[in-house]
């Protein structure tokens, strides 16, 4: 049965064509003028309905029930009349299909509304239905509301929306609104590979788009030209499935998914865009791309809001090009992945992940970025990577804040200056911070705070190529620390040295701290504590092409079996070591490339804190190649008659069985004008020293107690040695 009617007179008000429980019917309607109304009802299979309305305030309803029905071109015939077209303003089009394998807008031009303030409502119920192509184009200048599109596919699986498009061609700020809902499984938005003619698209200003998917495996199947993709994490954006795009200014996009393994991707090109993605379930993936200014991205992947189940194995990624962008990703439960890439300045990236097995990767290109990562899993293992790259645009003035609870790994890499990095970890953690720069990475502030539950260990590593940086590290119980500060190989002015840096380390428990500095005027403070813990502190200061000069090193160790080792290749450095209870201190001073280290000041104080334990021996081993070290003492004859008031440059030991070994110079490198003072209080203490190949060296030895031994050798001229026991 075929009903065909063409009408051009605007006086025609209502045209209805019905075919009851019949198949392969074809209804084609055409109306010209204003205030027209058309109704098409088709029941059965393989029916085709199409219409053309020209004019304003027209209304059309097309209802098809059955399978394999088409609203818009299907089969043969004149394509100019086998379409879905409303041209004019304030028109309303409603298409409803119930059944399987139905299709809307099969014609090349699809379903079109051309004009302002038009509304299209599309509904498909059951399985394998398709919306091929829907276009709404604003022609003139609606003032508030432009066109409205509502598309719903529900009550079945494997439905497909290939392309819907809203376009505002005028300079008006009127809003196009698109609302898309799919319920069921393996539903698809857009096609792969996508471009700007496929998927959901709004082209204009002040647009709003809302997408809802309820069910499983949406965007993840293979139907016709469509496929899933995404991952690994998340491939990287410039979005495909399910491909929602907004081109223009003041756009807003909202996506909500309830179910598992759903994939959704969106892209916004323009200014003042907002994207919001919420998904509840497992294995969901969301990719958001933004190209423009003042964009905001927010992604929430969560457990079921009512029953608390789900929220596992989700992946979210955002890729932002522009200025003043804000990105926030929140994930709950286990094995989630969050990835942010930002190109531009003054961006804010926030990732919040709860539970374990989560991974976060944040990459920013530009200045003034603010990155915050929170991973909270009491007994789980989370991983965070933050990279701020200034190789193309200097990555300066950034703020990075990483907080982790559980068994966590954090890696922060910055290429630029004046960044503020804070890493706080609780549990068994690994933290790594690296700062570099085009010339150097200068004026950065690093804070690493690690604590545990008394049975786990923390590891912190910091590498800085640059000057004027501040590093602060706090660790509790069984920790390992490594810090290296140097210059940049491309900075000829600094000659690869890192100068005027400040390093402060506090470790409690059985700790290992290693600090290496290539440069001058650095200030290092390392404090280790723990009653029964074996603390190990290693500090090395050197120059690259020159010496490492005018550095200050202060090491405090409280606890049993502490070991402090200081090696300095340079001049005018100030070293202080304080140790309590059975400790070892090893000190080596020389110049760069095996030369001399001159005018350095050394202070070592070892004290036995009376308590439990047998052997209380402290050990000091000092090796010096250089001149005028500890000259501030001002010793004179017989080391100022073995001074009873030992000032700067002295070595103290308190307890029993203590041992001091001092070696100054050798037969090749002379060491002149050095002054050393030793004080041992207790019994069975030993001082063994040798000064070889040097002149005017002074030594004062004071031993108080019983069964003490001093054995000293001096070779050279004008050397002075004074011993009192």
Give the strand pairing for 512-518 and 502-508: unpaired
Span 309-330, average pLDDT: 82
Which pLDDT does position 432 carry in this prediction? 92
Residue 594 has phi, psi (to 5 degrees) of: 80, 10
pLDDT of 6 over the 50 cut: no
Residue 641 confidence class, pLDDT cut points 50, 70, 90: low
Mean pLDDT comparison of 58-72, 189-203, 438-452, 531-545, highest-scoring range: 58-72
- Answer whether 697's CB lies under 8 Å from 719's CB: yes
Question: SS3 string of 622-666?
Answer: EEECCCCCCHHHCCCHHHHHHCCCCCCCEEEEEEECCEEEEEECC
Span 207-221, average pLDDT: 84
Residue 54 confidence class, pLDDT cut points 50, 70, 90: very high
Which pLDDT does position 609 carry in this prediction? 54
Span 517-528, average pLDDT: 84
Span 164-175, average pLDDT: 76
Whether the bond between 304 and the residue before it is cis, its omega within 30 degrees of 0, is no
Span 313-335, average pLDDT: 83
Residue 59 confidence class, pLDDT cut points 50, 70, 90: very high
Span 527-550, average pLDDT: 74
Which pLDDT does position 720 carry in this prediction? 79
How does pLDDT run across 385-424, given as a tens digit for each residue? Answer: 998 876 655 677 889 999 888 888 889 988 888 889 999 8
More confident residue, 609 or 634: 634
3-state secondary structure of 311: coil
How does pLDDT run across 297-316, given as a tens digit for each residue? Answer: 888 888 766 657 778 888 88
Which pLDDT does position 194 carry in this prediction? 47
How does pLDDT run across 187-211, given as a tens digit for each residue? Answer: 888 765 444 456 788 888 788 899 9
Burial class of residue 97 (count of CB atoms within 10 Å of its CB; 0-12, 13-18, 19+):
buried
Mean pLDDT comparison of 90-94, 235-239, 448-452, 563-567, highest-scoring range: 90-94
The DSSP-derived string for 576-593 is: EEEEESS-EEEEEEE-GG
Largest distance between two CA atoms of the chain: 128
Which pLDDT does position 227 carry in this prediction? 46
Give the strand pairing for 399-415 and 326-332: unpaired
Which pLDDT does position 637 carry in this prediction? 63
Residue 439 confidence class, pLDDT cut points 50, 70, 90: low
Which pLDDT does position 20 carry in this prediction? 45
Span 160-185, average pLDDT: 84
How does pLDDT run across 471-515, given as a tens digit for each residue? Answer: 999 888 778 889 988 864 444 344 445 678 889 988 887 788 899
Burial class of residue 455 (count of CB atoms within 10 Å of its CB; 0-12, 13-18, 19+):
exposed
More confident residue, 663 or 141: 663
Residue 547 confidence class, pLDDT cut points 50, 70, 90: low
Distance CA 647, CA 698 (A): 14
Whether the bond between 320 and the residue before it is cis, its omega within 30 degrees of 0, is no
pTM, full prediction = 0.81
Listed range (12-26, 92-106, 126-140, 517-531) with the worst mean pLDDT? 12-26
Distance CA 200, CA 275 (A): 14
Span 283-309, average pLDDT: 79
Closest CA to 148 of 132, 130, 164: 164
How does pLDDT run across 227-248, given as a tens digit for each residue? Answer: 456 555 554 444 555 678 888 8
Distance CA 136, CA 119 (A): 9
| CA end-to-end span of the chain | 125
| Mean pLDDT for the chain overall | 79
More confident residue, 205 or 546: 205
pLDDT of 320 over the 60 cut: yes
Residue 294 confidence class, pLDDT cut points 50, 70, 90: confident
More confident residue, 217 or 498: 217
Span 559-578, average pLDDT: 82
Distance CA 102, CA 648 (A): 93
Distance CA 73, CA 77 (A): 9
How does pLDDT run across 662-717, given as a tens digit for each residue? Answer: 888 776 777 787 788 888 888 888 889 888 877 877 788 888 888 889 898 888 88
Which pLDDT does position 495 carry in this prediction? 45
Distance CA 449, CA 410 (A): 12
Residue 331 confidence class, pLDDT cut points 50, 70, 90: confident
Closest CA to 288 of 221, 209, 393, 395: 209
| Chain centre distance of CA 702 | 58
């Amino acid at each position: 049965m075929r009903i065909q009617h063409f009408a051009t007179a605007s006086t025609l008000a209502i045209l209805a064509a019905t075919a009851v429980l019949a198949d392969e019917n074809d209804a084609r309607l055409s109306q010209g003028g204003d205030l027209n109304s058309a109704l098409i009802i088709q029941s059965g299979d393989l029916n085709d309905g199409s219409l053309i309305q020209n004019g304003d305030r027209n209304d059309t309803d097309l209802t098809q029930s059955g399978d394999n029905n088409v609203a818009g071109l299907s089969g043969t015939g004149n394509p100019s009349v086998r379409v879905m077209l409303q041209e004019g303003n304030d028109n309303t089009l409603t298409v409803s299909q119930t059944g399987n394998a139905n299709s809307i807008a099969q014609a090349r031009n699809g379903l079109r509304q051309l004009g302002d303030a038009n509304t299209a409502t599309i509904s498909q119920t059951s399985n394998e239905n398709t919306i091929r192509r829907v276009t709404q184009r604003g022609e003139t200048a609606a003032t508030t509301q432009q066109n409205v599109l509502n598309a719903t596919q529900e009550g079945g699986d494997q439905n497909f929306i290939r392309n819907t498009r809203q376009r505002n061609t005028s300079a008006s700020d009127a809003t196009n609104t698109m609302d898309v809902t799919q319920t069921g499984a393996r539903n698809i938005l857009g096609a792969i590979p996508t471009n700007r003619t496929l998927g959901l698209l709004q082209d204009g200003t002040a647009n709003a788009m809302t997408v809802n998917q309820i069910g499983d495996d949406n965007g993840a199947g293979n139907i016709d030209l469509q496929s899933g993709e995404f991952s690994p994490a998340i491939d990287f954006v410039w979005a495909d499935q399910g491909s929602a795009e907004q081109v223009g200014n003041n756009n807003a996009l909202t996506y909500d998914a309830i179910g598992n393994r759903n994939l959704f991707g969106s892209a916004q090109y323009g200014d003042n865009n907002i994207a919001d993605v919420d998904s509840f379930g497992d294995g969901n993936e969301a990719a958001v791309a933004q190209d423009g200014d003042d964009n905001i991205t927010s992604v929430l992947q969560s457990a079921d809001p009512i029953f608390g189940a789900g929220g596992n194995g989700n992946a979210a990624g955002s890729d932002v090009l522009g200025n003043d962008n804000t990105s926030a990703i929140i994930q709950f439960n286990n094995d989630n992945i969050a990835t942010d890439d930002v190109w531009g300045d003054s961006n804010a990236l926030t990732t919040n992940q709860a539970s374990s097995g989560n991974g976060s990767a944040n990459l920013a290109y530009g200045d003034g970025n603010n990155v915050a990562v929170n991973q909270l899993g009491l007994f789980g293992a989370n991983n965070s990577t933050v990279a701020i790259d200034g190789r193309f645009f200097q990555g300066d003035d950034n703020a990075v804040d990483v907080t982790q609870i559980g068994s966590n790994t954090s890696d922060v890499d910055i290429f630029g200056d004046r960044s503020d990095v804070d890493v706080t970890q609780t549990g068994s953690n690994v933290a790594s911070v690296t700062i570099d720069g085009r010339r150097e990475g200068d004026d950065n502030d690093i804070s690493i705070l690690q604590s545990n539950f008394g049975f786990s260990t923390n590891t912190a590593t910091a590498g800085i190529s640059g000057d004027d940086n501040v590093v602060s590290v706090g660790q509790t119980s069984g920790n390992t620390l490594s810090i290296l500060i140097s210059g940049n190989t491309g900075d000829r002015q600094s000659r690869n040295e890192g100068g005027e840096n400040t390093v402060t380390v506090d470790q409690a428990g059985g700790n290992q701290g290693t600090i290496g500095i290539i440069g001058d005027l650095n200030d290092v403070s390392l404090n280790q504590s723990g009653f029964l813990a074996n603390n190990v502190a290693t500090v090395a200061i050197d120059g690259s092409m020159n010496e490492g000069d005018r550095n200050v090193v202060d090491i405090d160790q409280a606890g049993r079996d502490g070991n402090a080792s200081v090696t300095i290749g340079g001049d005018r450095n100030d070293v202080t070591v304080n140790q309590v209870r059975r400790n070892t201190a090893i000190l080596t001073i020389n110049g760069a490339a095996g030369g001399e280290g001159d005018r350095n000041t050394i202070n070592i104080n070892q004290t036995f804190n009376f308590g439990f334990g047998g052997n209380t021996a402290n050990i000091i081993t000092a090796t010096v190649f250089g001149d005028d070290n500890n000259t501030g003492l001002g010793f004179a004859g017989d080391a100022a008659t073995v001074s009873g008031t030992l000032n700067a440059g002295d070595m103290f030991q308190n307890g029993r069985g203590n041992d001091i070994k001092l070696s100054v110079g050798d037969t090749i490198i002379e060491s002149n004008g050095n002054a050393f003072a030793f004080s041992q209080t207790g019994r069975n203490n030993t001082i063994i020293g040798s000064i070889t190949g040097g002149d005017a060296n002074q030594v004062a030895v004071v031993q108080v107690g019983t069964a003490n031994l001093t054995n000293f050798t001096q070779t050279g001229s004008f050397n002075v040695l004074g011993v009192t026991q």
